[in-house]
Structure 1
Amino acid sequence: MSQQSLAADAATTEAKYPRSIPYIIGNEAAERFSFYGMRSIMVTFLVAQFYSKLYNPTVADAKGNEVVHLFVALAYALPFVGGLVADWFTGKYKIILWISIVYCFGHLCLALFDTNLNGFMVGLLLIAIGAGGIKSCVSANVGDQFDKTNQTLLSKVYGWFYFSINAGSVFSTLLIPPIYKNYGAQWAFGIPGLLMALATIIFFSGRKLYVRVPPGGINKNNFVFISVYALFNIGKKQKGQSLLDVSKGKFNPEKVEGVKAVYRVMAVFMFAPIFWAMWDQNLSEWVLQAEKLDRHINLGFTSFTILAGQVQTANPIFLLSFIPLFTYFIYPFFDKIGLKATPLRRIGAGLALTALSFVIIAFVQISVDAGGHPSVWWQIFAYVVLSAAEVLVSITGLEYAYTQAPKSMKSTMTAIWLLTVSIGNLFDAYVNNSISNHGFFAKYTGSNFYWVFVGICTVFLILYLFISPRLKERNYIDEPDAEFQGNEVIAQTNNL
């Protein structure tokens, strides 16, 4: 056997999954059960328990949607703060553990204050702090467990990490709506709280196995400090320099190049908010639409009627199927025929499918507006398309955030990716607030509401197709020991 073959066999033998991974994935599955379990009934609960008693149906729905999207916006804005705290002060392990306890108290408030809007809002605030505080650290913690010997497994582990998210989501969205209907809000919000407590215990149980990257402390060679300095010294920029180059006289040039890498990734991420503005509606606007559909399911050998909150289970179920399908068959197929499934191509295809899913939903709403009760199968079909879009955009973005960021900024980069979720939901909240207060978007109700998002997504897609071929990429996993070797080593890829 040749030396080359022996080296290949040795590399294959050494590529083993870290022992800490089951604890991280188990923790994520239980935490996502708690998060999606309470979200599965949040909008219907808010409308029925509080807003329908004060407003007409259109305004009540808009008020409920606004609260849901503001909650999600806060939950996904705070990962940026959690990432900075982890990178600077605590490390990922400590912040995940302690903020998880705050998370648990938030769930307790939801169960105790099911008839008190103010108390319920306090619970939502604590959950947003908990989910936000740990989110960027958990996903970045996955990547920290890998090194040169097993980095080839990283993409597959991120796939299984996302699989665990949706496994937790499947069970929660199947179980919590009927528990809410049959046993009331206290049980429906209390059970997700118990799962969050379990998630905390699972994470703590793996404490001796984690690879813990120590915090770097606050230093001047940081993303925030370099960016602020460049902004306030824009007048020093010389011809031919980038804006960040003015920081090289005061900061480590290697770190400045690292910050440039972050901004290159952010050029991709600026197209993600429209995806999340549309995706998150499947847990709010689509749920309210499902209440008006014919939800009777006839499978031939059996028939039953599902609750509006259970329809959203279609998303994680399809994801559980699509993740291995895309990872092991679709991507390799396109690679084999010469159309490489690069991250930027995946994201572009995902945006196109997102718009298509809303075209389907808009036609469903046209029927509802006319007084009809179309079959829930049409909404399920929209979930098929949206779930495929999620595999292409969300999983790719999660991996891209980690691999394209320098080592010292991985939690921060992941938090910036999650910040795109917040921005998308802030836009949703703004639209619903405008509707409830008879503002500009008040005329875009019914099917017109969804057509507006189809149009906006189409504009973003056209811009993406123009800009993405001009973007530069650099994988810091492939070059872990050299965060800076000059602009000449930054690979330009022909992505589209």
Structure 2
Amino acid sequence: MTAAAEATPAGDPARLPRQIPYIIGNEACERFSFYGMRNILVPFLIGSVLLSYLPEAEREGMAKEVFHSFVIGVYFFPLLGGWLSDRFFGKYHTIFWLSLLYCAGHACLALFEGNRTGFYTGLFLIALGSGGIKPLVSSFVGDQFNQSNKHLAKIVYDAFYWTINFGSFFASLLMPRILSAYGPAIAFGIPGVLMFIATIIFWMGRHKYTNVPPAPRDPDSFMSVTMTALRGGARGDKGVGTVVAASGVLLAFALLVGWAVSPAWWPEKFGFVISFCLALGAVLALGGIGTALQLERARGAHPDAAVDGVRAVLRILIVFAIVSPFWSLFDQKASTWVLQGKEMIVPHDLWWWPSWLVKEAAQMQALNPLLVMLLIPFNNLVLYPLLTKLGFKVTALRRMGFGIGFSGLAWVLAGVIQLWLDGGDPVSLAWQIVPYALLTFGEVLVSATGLEFAYSQSPPAMKGVIMSFWMLSVTFGNVWVLLTNAGVKNEAMKTWIGSTGLSENAFLMFFFAGFAFAAAMIFALYARRYPMQDYYREA
């Protein structure tokens, strides 16, 4: 495999590129691997010796914290993977070598289920490997298309997302049972085997891929234009934007110093993960605002196209930021909803309930990928054409905005279920089907659409990094979870929640629902002004 791009096959508008099946097959196995371990992580931790040093009442909270910290890592490391790919190794080589680290992480989980250091090392390697390849695989799909067959990309992205959920469905359904029946060594070992198979499948297609080489160091890159703007352009005419960006760096430094020193006034629950993510958020948010305020000062020092490209990226990052509350709701289906389900009654007496298969609350997560596999073709073949016929234009941004709103509605219903449980009533686990269905419909509208949106709106030299920022929105979604859970541990907040008559769990569920509704409204307002771009490469 050379550093230069292989010759791109002539685009056939009637056929999919022949290399796509290797990428799809790799993704199906990798997703089984990832969700197989992810969806049993919280149940395993609660009953494992890893948390035996804690009082039993605190283990569920710590299991949630470990889980969401792991997810934060998974969706932070796309920044590293995107950078390595775009600047040094290209997508193929970066995906392949990080996949081997991914396999090593699974091996650690299987071998060290009773050793905290070994197990957490495995989680770190999986976060590094899974996160590092995550933005690259989806953008690697886009690289296989050009202007002549780009109309087929949406079909492939939907198939890509459908395949992700095919692997996730079987992992979510089977792995909790395997954990119960055979123990953690087998339950964590099986996903490791699947990840190794995924790596082999990807390697087998190495001679067929269209490989876009790493971009050479560009004097007009996103960072170069940004720094020129913040320095005041060719004349050094610094302004308020420079001050805003500098304040972001100072705030980030203060947050990290606060974590390191931990003075008496420092929040007890603000560990390294929260502090680091807040510091990163400060740099991105205030740096982006500062750049936007004086971006025009970079004109003359850089071509107009480069300056306009930076403005396009800043617009995309705003979309990603507004989407982040959706992920704070979505990822809690593997933590908060599993813990809620453990308080519910498995309805073996219902004639339609598959008692021979579904015996544990954690298996309810299989509903999510199953419904995704049904909803994607339903939306494309029935819902979207029907809405178009009725005169409603189904744009990517509209789909994403409605998706955030549906996730809020799902959490309203989860909160109602929690009220029943808090009242002491026996509640059937079957009731969780309704919020799962609404959350999944929201996911299809947000996530499947977001993959295509992120690629199509990215300037050519920034596709890997932009996809990384899309993944980073998931990191900040999980940071919201950690921040909120830390906030409700405050004694004053506990007293206030108690005065509402709600339990802590019910309060948080309604809070996250309101959080999603607010984000959906802001998203709708911003989407009305967003100028769509087309950055697919030429044939």
In 2, are the aligned partners of 1:66 and 1:433 still within 8 Å (CA)? no
Give me the TM-score of the superposition, normalised by structure 2: 0.83
The separation in 2 between residues aligned to 1:57 and 1:226, in whole angstroms, is 53
Residue 329 of structure 1 pairs with residue 382 of structure 2: yes
1:460 alignment counterpart? 519
2:533 alignment counterpart? 474
In 2, are the aligned partners of 1:15 and 1:149 still within 8 Å (CA)? no
Moved over 6 A (4+): none
Q: Could you report, residue by residue, the CA deviation over 1:39-66 in whole angstroms, capped at 9, with x for unpaired residues?
A: 1110111121147634455532121111
* Deviation for aligned residue 1:465: 2.7
1:315 to 368, 374, 380: 368
2:428 to 363, 375, 380: 375
In 1, are the aligned partners of 2:344 and 2:428 still within 8 Å (CA)? yes
**Greater CA drift, 457-466 or 153-162:** 457-466
In 2, are the aligned partners of 1:358 and 1:454 still within 8 Å (CA)? yes
Q: 1:453 to 1:31 in 2, by over 3 A?
A: same
The separation in 2 between residues aligned to 1:251 and 1:470, in whole angstroms, is 26
The separation in 1 between residues aligned to 2:61 and 2:407, in whole angstroms, is 22
1:386 alignment counterpart? 439
**Greater CA drift, 99-108 or 457-466:** 457-466
One-letter amino acid matched to 1:473:
M
Q: 1:145 to 1:13 in 2, by over 3 A?
A: closer
The separation in 1 between residues aligned to 2:84 and 2:494, in whole angstroms, is 38
Q: Could you report, residue by residue, the CA deviation over 1:189-220 in whole angstroms, capped at 9, with x for unpaired residues?
A: 01000000011000000001100000013322
Q: Could you report, residue by residue, the CA deviation over 1:132-164 in whole angstroms, capped at 9, with x for unpaired residues?
A: 111110000000000122111011110000001
* Deviation for aligned residue 1:370: 2.2
1:189 alignment counterpart? 188
Residue 403 of structure 1 pairs with residue 472 of structure 2: no
The separation in 2 between residues aligned to 1:28 and 1:102, in whole angstroms, is 16
**Greater CA drift, 259-268 or 458-467:** 458-467
Q: Secondary structure at the match of 1:91?
A: helix
Residue 84 of structure 1 pairs with residue 137 of structure 2: no
1:134 alignment counterpart? 133
The separation in 2 between residues aligned to 1:312 and 1:246, in whole angstroms, is 50
In 2, are the aligned partners of 1:62 and 1:435 still within 8 Å (CA)? no
Q: 1:438 to 1:51 in 2, by over 3 A?
A: farther
Of all paired residues, the percent bearing the same amino acid is 40
The separation in 1 between residues aligned to 2:494 and 2:71, in whole angstroms, is 21
* Deviation for aligned residue 1:12: 11
The separation in 1 between residues aligned to 2:73 and 2:53, in whole angstroms, is 25
2:270 alignment counterpart? none
1:267 alignment counterpart? 318
* Deviation for aligned residue 1:377: 1.6
Alignment of 1:178-257 (within 5 A): 178-233=177-232, 235-236=237-238, 243-257=294-308
In 2, are the aligned partners of 1:77 and 1:419 still within 8 Å (CA)? yes
The separation in 2 between residues aligned to 1:466 and 1:110, in whole angstroms, is 45
* Deviation for aligned residue 1:422: 0.6
1:49 alignment counterpart? 48
Q: 1:324 to 1:122 in 2, by over 3 A?
A: same
Q: 1:303 to 1:23 in 2, by over 3 A?
A: closer
Q: Could you report, residue by residue, the CA deviation over 1:267-286 in whole angstroms, capped at 9, with x for unpaired residues?
A: 22121110000000001111
Q: Could you report, residue by residue, the CA deviation over 1:416-474 in whole angstroms, capped at 9, with x for unpaired residues?
A: 11110011011212333445676857957221110111121222222223322122221
In 2, are the aligned partners of 1:59 and 1:436 still within 8 Å (CA)? no
One-letter amino acid matched to 2:230:
L
One-letter amino acid matched to 2:127:
A
Q: CA RMSD in A?
A: 2.3
2:412 to 359, 362, 382: 359
Q: 1:107 to 1:334 in 2, by over 3 A?
A: same
Alignment of 1:93-104 (within 5 A): 93-104=92-103
One-letter amino acid matched to 1:252:
P
One-letter amino acid matched to 1:366:
L
Q: 1:433 to 1:14 in 2, by over 3 A?
A: same
The separation in 1 between residues aligned to 2:175 and 2:489, in whole angstroms, is 28
**Greater CA drift, 316-325 or 300-309:** 300-309
Unaligned runs of 5+ in 2: 1-9, 242-291, 498-502
In 2, are the aligned partners of 1:63 and 1:432 still within 8 Å (CA)? no
In 1, are the aligned partners of 2:70 and 2:124 still within 8 Å (CA)? yes
The separation in 1 between residues aligned to 2:340 and 2:14, in whole angstroms, is 47
**Count of residue pairs the alignment pairs up:** 469
**Greater CA drift, 144-153 or 57-66:** 57-66
The separation in 1 between residues aligned to 2:12 and 2:182, in whole angstroms, is 52
Residue 348 of structure 1 pairs with residue 401 of structure 2: yes
2:162 alignment counterpart? 163
The separation in 2 between residues aligned to 1:297 and 1:142, in whole angstroms, is 43
Unaligned runs of 5+ in 1: 1-10, 483-496
Q: Secondary structure at the match of 2:39?
A: helix
The separation in 1 between residues aligned to 2:131 and 2:309, in whole angstroms, is 25
Q: Could you report, residue by residue, the CA deviation over 1:77-102 in whole angstroms, capped at 9, with x for unpaired residues?
A: 11122112111111100000000000
The separation in 1 between residues aligned to 2:349 and 2:300, in whole angstroms, is 70
* Deviation for aligned residue 1:224: 2.4
**Greater CA drift, 354-363 or 228-237:** 228-237
The separation in 1 between residues aligned to 2:385 and 2:11, in whole angstroms, is 19
The separation in 2 between residues aligned to 1:32 and 1:62, in whole angstroms, is 26
1:446 alignment counterpart? 505
